[in-house]
């Protein structure tokens, strides 16, 4: 089968060897595995981060988000059958989805939304899981409470779906941040009540809309540069959730206000095969239902053509530019 790999993390994405194509044997399913023929995939910041930082002795297949058709199953698979169209976000400790065929544990997979194209569905899994887990599993948001949520980096992949989940499924007042007119408009289309500019102090931007403090902050990017302002604007006993990788994070400033700190990593359940690993199957199934009911919509922003090394390098370059909005998808080999 064809696969797109990297080997040298020192290479810039402009180098043809930063991502390149190889032929490799088609894998065989384990007991709880699905063998999926990949139809479409999307690219996430985690793809670029690992490509730039993780050493590897052998060529490594990146990629996590995927949509495809189940073509074979393991002996103990009970949730799916060959022929099922599925979507999922994969595991950090297994080969990725940038290949014609891919193995994935059935417990982190769901049937794709019926009313989405393959490309539209491929934009969703990783970010929908991250947003759902952050909002409901980490921040433990009560859907009936009329509180306030600030989403830092609301125009990105996670922010685009988190804005929808918060505005559609809860009574939260949702404030997103964006720095350009086109990204601010993008955030508004997904239901944000307000959009502020994160290139200015958050407290000053909130004051412009007569908000002095917020109950929840979902910090999706550049947490370290916003940290002092986050502490300032969070209400006493507020909650801070984050997904990025600040160089350091001193929790002591949170003590005076009894602010709780919550990390979200979508890969934790599959990484440790936690007892509740199947929750990701359940979340993605709920998301698919909400998509088909018209409550949520895909966050697909751009299609970069077929799945090949050149188009993946182009997608990585866009994400590394920090100018991407929504999700970038590739479809077909």
What integer pLDDT is reported at residue 178 of this predicted model? 95
Q: Which tokens go with 300?
A: 């697909």
* Burial (CB count within 10 angstroms: exposed 0-12, middle 13-18, buried 19+), residue 65: buried
CB within 8 Å of 131: residues ≥ 6 apart: 158, 161, 162, 165
**What is the residue whose two structure tokens read 């090394």?**
309
pTM of the predicted protein model: 0.95
In the sheet that holds 234-242, the strands lie side by side as 194-196, 173-177, 148-152, 214-219, 234-242, 260-263
Give helix 125-132 / helix 279-292 axis angle, nearest 10°. 110
What integer pLDDT is reported at residue 323 of this predicted model? 84
Cα of 304 vs its chain's centroid, Å: 18
Report the CATH number of the 127-263 domain: 3.40.50.720
What integer pLDDT is reported at residue 40 of this predicted model? 98
- Over the chain (333 residues), the average pLDDT of each successive run of 10 is 97 97 97 98 95 94 97 98 98 97 98 97 98 98 97 95 98 96 94 97 97 98 96 98 94 98 97 97 98 96 96 96 90 95
Tell me the CA distances in angstroms from 253 to 88, 173, 240, one per residue in order. 37, 25, 12
What integer pLDDT is reported at residue 322 of this predicted model? 84
Question: What is the maximum alpha-carbon separation in the chain?
Answer: 60
The yes or no reply on domain 2-124+272-331 and CATH 3.90.180.10 is yes
Q: Which residue ranges make up each domain of the chain? A: 2-124+272-331, 127-263
Find residue 328's DSSP bridge partners. 43, 302
Encode burial over 266-281: b for 16+ CB neighbours within 10 A, e otherwise. Answer: bbebbeeeeeebebbb
What integer pLDDT is reported at residue 325 of this predicted model? 85
What integer pLDDT is reported at residue 65 of this predicted model? 97
Q: How many CA atoms lie within 13 A of 183 on its CB side?
A: 22
What stretches of 190-267 show up as alpha helix (H) in DSSP?
Answer: 202-208, 223-233
């Amino acid at each position: 089968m064809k696969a797109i790999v990297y080997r040298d993390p020192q290479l810039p994405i402009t180098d043809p060897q930063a991502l390149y194509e190889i032929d490799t044997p088609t894998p065989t399913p384990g007991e709880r595995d699905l063998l999926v023929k990949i139809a479409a995939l999307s690219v996430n910041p985690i793809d670029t981060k690992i490509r730039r930082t993780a050493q590897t002795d052998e060529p490594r297949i990146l990629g996590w988000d995927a949509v495809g058709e189940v073509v074979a199953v393991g002996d103990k698979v009970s949730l799916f059958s060959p022929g099922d169209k599925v979507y999922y976000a994969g595991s950090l400790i297994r080969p990725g989805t940038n290949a014609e065929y891919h193995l994935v544990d059935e417990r982190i997979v769901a049937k794709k939304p019926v009313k989405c194209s393959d490309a539209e569905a491929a934009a969703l899994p990783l970010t929908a899981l991250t947003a759902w887990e952050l909002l409901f599993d980490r921040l433990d948001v009560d859907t009936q409470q009329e509180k306030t949520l600030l989403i830092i980096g609301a125009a990105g992949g996670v922010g685009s779906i988190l804005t929808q989940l918060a505005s559609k499924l809860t009574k939260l007042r949702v404030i997103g941040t964006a720095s350009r007119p086109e990204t601010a408009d993008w955030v508004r289309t997904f239901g944000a009540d307000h959009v502020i500019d994160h290139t200015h102090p958050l407290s000053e931007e909130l004051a412009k809309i007569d908000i002095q403090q917020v109950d929840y902050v979902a910090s999706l990017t550049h947490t370290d540069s916003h940290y002092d302002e986050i502490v300032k604007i969070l209400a006493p006993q507020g909650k801070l959730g984050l997904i990025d990788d600040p160089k350091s994070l001193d929790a002591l400033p949170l003590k005076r206000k009894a602010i709780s700190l919550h990390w979200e990593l979508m890969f934790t359940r599959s990484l440790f095969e936690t007892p509740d690993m199947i929750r990701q199957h359940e979340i993605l199934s709920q998301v698919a239902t909400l998509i088909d009911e018209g409550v949520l919509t895909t966050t697909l922003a751009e299609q970069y053509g077929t799945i090949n090394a050149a188009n993946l390098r182009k997608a990585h370059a866009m994400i590394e530019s920090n100018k991407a909005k929504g999700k970038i998808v590739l479809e077909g080999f």
